[in-house]
Structure 1
């Protein structure tokens, strides 16, 4: 439990047999996580044996794709806050301590892997991926008038329980672009979103998406397509009537104090192969 709120971690897995147990233990050692759920998405043989040696529980999601795995995870957990992270060694579970404080004011807290200070030697975040994520992020800023964005593919994030029903109802992507779709749905619904830099380490094993240049390019164009289609024909998302949003809107009425907009950490994917792409 963190700050009086229950907290779960959802770890989708396909090709992380050699790193998943260590990732689970690292989250467990934080001492604040109430539930660790592994969503086995037709994972490499032996993955379940690694999970069985930890405190995590496991569910099988037979439908292939990162989005399918995350949707299953969100449906399975029942905590106030849900952390989503990939167990491939690229993220440091200790960075969860960076994300959680922003949940006091935001519905969705995203990590960012594109800040050079936090990119470790050997991490798969070269100029192509950095500028690709930055370019899509800036397109979203321009088309949707959002605050600062720098990374649309980071899969380390924390989401409020209040957002889950709407995300499960409105999301359509079952593949690697689900992380972007989650961001877009939150922005369109005017949910409060913030982005925070996190450490990005070399991956243990090879990614089926960013490990292949052609697949990464294809995913990038798919993401741009999602952004443009939502700009032309946005989904009809219902806004949530929450006490926190009511307080924020009341504070911004004329004559009342208006809190300043955040600056460098301002409000504002997964390496699984898409369901309609080549097998991972």
Structure 2
């Protein structure tokens, strides 16, 4: 709990067996969480056993989302969360519980708090030059197209959302894969929801990534991300243009 606000932590999991226990224990040890929801998205064998070993696992609820896809899993977790404020992360060891209070401080004044890995310099083999620069470029593009607050990246999955924001945006969700992370951000901007970015620690992932692997995959992610931005922008323009 933070200043009378109950806090839920949501973690979709697929291939994080080797890291999920450590991540859960790190965040639970802050004593700031009222609820932890792990969404088992057909996770690899042994994941549930690792969760059961977690100290303080009485806070944890495991939900099985059979429909494969990061979007499906995160949406299920967000909608199941009962906290006033809902924090989402990935259980791969990349994010730090030490940053939680920073989200909460800004959560007092903003409905959405977005983590950013580009505000400070990060040494991480998974955070290559092009991946970083494309994130910065797309953040700038969203800022310019939507006349939004300054945005320094689009791919960070460490976020805080007020529960009423989740309820408001849920009917507009369309994406069910890993691209849901960008869609969620775009919907926040397009709906005029006030947000702010905060710098986050970005550590090296434990285990292989199922999303960012190789230059061809990075190019595809970048291309789909650009299409998402432009598509949402055209929808946004259509809603703003008065009918004759």
TM-score range for the pair, normalised by the shorter chain length: over 0.9
Report how far residue 235 of structure 1 moved: 9.1
Q: Aligned partners of 1:13, 1:235: CA distance in 2, in Å? A: 36
Q: Aligned partners of 1:26, 1:235: CA distance in 2, in Å? A: 43
Q: Which runs of 5+ in 2 are unaligned?
A: 240-244
Provide the residue aligned with 1:129 in structure 2: 131
Report how far residue 147 of structure 1 moved: 1.9
| Aligned with 2:105 (options 92, 95, 101) | 101
* Alignment length (residue pairs): 235
Report how far residue 212 of structure 1 moved: 2.9
Provide the residue aligned with 1:146 in structure 2: 148
Q: Aligned partners of 1:224, 1:16: CA distance in 2, in Å? A: 28
1:168 aligns with 2:170: yes
| Aligned with 2:70 (options 66, 71, 84) | 66
Contact 2:124–2:202 (Cα < 8 Å) also in 1: no
- Pairing of 1:180-199 with structure 2 (within 5 A): 180-199=182-201
Contact 1:6–1:34 (Cα < 8 Å) also in 2: yes
Tell me the TM-score normalized by structure 1.
Answer: 0.81
Q: Aligned partners of 1:115, 1:71: CA distance in 2, in Å? A: 27
Structure 1 ranges of 4+ moved more than 3 A: none
Tell me the TM-score normalized by structure 2.
Answer: 0.92
Q: Aligned partners of 2:75, 2:131: CA distance in 1, in Å? A: 25
Provide the residue aligned with 1:91 in structure 2: 95
Report how far residue 216 of structure 1 moved: 2.2
Distance of aligned partners of 1:170 and 1:235 in 2 relative to their CA distance in 1, 3 Å threshold: farther
The DSSP-based 3-state class of the residue aligned with 2:196 is strand
- Pairing of 1:1-280 with structure 2 (within 5 A): 1-54=1-54, 55=57, 56-117=60-121, 119=122, 121-234=123-236
Report how far residue 114 of structure 1 moved: 1.5
